[in-house]
Amino acid sequence: MRIFTKLSPPLCLLFVFLCLKTAFSSSIHASSFSTTHLCSHEEALALLQFKTSFSINYTISDPYYCGDHFYTKPNYSKIESWKEGIDCCSWDGVSCDNVTGHVIALNLSCSFLYGTFPSNSTLFFLRNLQSLNLASNDFRFSKIPPEISQFTRLKHLDISYSQFSGQVPAEIAHLPKLVSLNLSNEPSDLILETTTLKNLVHNLSEVRELELGGVNMTSVNPRFFMNLSSSLTTLNLLESALRGNFPNSIFRFPNLKNFYLSGSIGERNLIIDLPSSNWSSPLQQLFLSDMDCGSRLPESIGDLKSLQSLGLECNLKGSIPASIGNLSQLTDLDLYSSNLSGQIPPSLANLTQLISIDLSFNQFSGPIPFHARLNF
């Protein structure tokens, strides 16, 4: 049995005895390894070469946004802990299979990496990667390298907000094990073609989270989304530049929790018809904007018992149905500029969890049924 102790360098210095002991035990038992490191020499080298392809540029605002939180600006990037002579499995952001020693996960999100992403990157040497997170770096409008398809074991890929641009390569559809894919970006930098999307939908039969916010899909036929995996839990298509009819069968997806969709800002050439019955999805977050939502806000909206956040800025007609009072989990209600009229239903007063409500730019009449902070 081999003993692998993942001590960070400072700890290792403190406990010299323990480090030596670990090294000693491994060198005895790990006969197939020439080093005492869990990480192979080749993979360590590949990572070190990857590191040298970028500079580390801390020129960002303070505090800065990373993932879903603001952080105060650090003076340290994870990649700075990557040093020769130290087991790469103990480097910040690197995770190894504890038996084979292969690097299986890399998380370099918000690591201030700055520079173009080379298509011959030594990163592609890490064939055992199951998870790759390069979100929130600055790859200077590089193309997403088609070589990405060499990561055949990849389950999680997050390269969002990393300043990739150009066409999403067709090879993105050759990663059939993907469970989550996040390509969200600043609007208009990345373009996804209809054939690539079609193949993606067809091949990613395990996908649960698909985030394509800001990806320009102007040429995509929205009907292809109806064939997404029934395992889908999150679909982010904000600022998608999609046009045409979006299949409302999306509301029957049995596992869908988060659905965000918007077309081109200020335009209404994307249409989705809210279903009048048979919503089957356990939706928690629903946001639709810059599009047309068919006609009325259906009475059946009250069936979505798990709904926490409802945002419909999408040209509805008629009034708010009384059933809205059944959405007992609702914390956020946004019906901004939705062309609604009539009385605000008294049942709204039953939504005790509401934190934020925006009913502005509609034509409501009659009394306001509750005392919440209002934005009319």
Ligand X SMILES: *[C@@H]1O[C@H](CO)[C@@H](O)[C@H](O)[C@H]1NC(C)=O
Interface residues with ligand X (CB under 6 A) are 49, 55, 57, 59, 67, 75-76, 98, 107, 109-110, 114, 118, 120, 122, 133, 135-136, 158, 160-161, 173-174, 176, 180, 182, 187-188, 191, 199, 202-203, 209, 211, 216, 218, 223-224, 226-227, 234, 241, 264, 277-278, 302, 322-323, 325-326, 346-347, 349-350
- Which is nearer to ligand X, 35 or 229 (by Cβ)? 229
Continuous segment of H or E residues that includes residue 341: strand 341-343
- Which is nearer to ligand X, 199 or 341 (by Cβ)? 199
Which structure tokens are listed for 61? 């605002």
From the list 214, 165, 167, 168, the residue with the least C-alpha distance to 187 is: 214
1 vs 250: CA distance, rounded Å? 50
Smallest separation, CB 151 to ligand X (Å): 11
Find residue 216's DSSP bridge partners.
191
Q: Helix, strand, coil % (nearest 5) of the chain?
A: 25, 20, 55
Smallest separation, CB 152 to ligand X (Å): 7
Which DSSP string do the residues of 7-71 spell out, in sequence order?
A: --HHHHHHTHHHHHHHHHHHHHH-TT-SSS-SS-HHHHHHHHHHHHTSEE---S-SSEEETTEEE
Smallest separation, CB 109 to ligand X (Å): 5
- Which is nearer to ligand X, 57 or 295 (by Cβ)? 57
- Which is nearer to ligand X, 147 or 332 (by Cβ)? 147
* Contact partners, residue 348, CB within 8 Å, separation at least 6: 320, 324, 325, 369, 370
- Which is nearer to ligand X, 27 or 149 (by Cβ)? 149
Which structure tokens are listed for 272? 């989705």
Q: How many Cα atoms sit within 13 Å of 181 on the Cβ side? A: 26
Smallest separation, CB 188 to ligand X (Å): 3
- Which is nearer to ligand X, 47 or 361 (by Cβ)? 47
- Which is nearer to ligand X, 228 or 314 (by Cβ)? 228
41 vs 44: CA distance, rounded Å? 5
343 vs 188: CA distance, rounded Å? 40
Smallest separation, CB 375 to ligand X (Å): 21
Smallest separation, CB 148 to ligand X (Å): 12
* Contact partners, residue 277, CB within 8 Å, separation at least 6: 298, 300
* Contact partners, residue 29, CB within 8 Å, separation at least 6: 1, 2, 3
- Which is nearer to ligand X, 165 or 360 (by Cβ)? 165
Smallest separation, CB 361 to ligand X (Å): 23
Smallest separation, CB 256 to ligand X (Å): 13
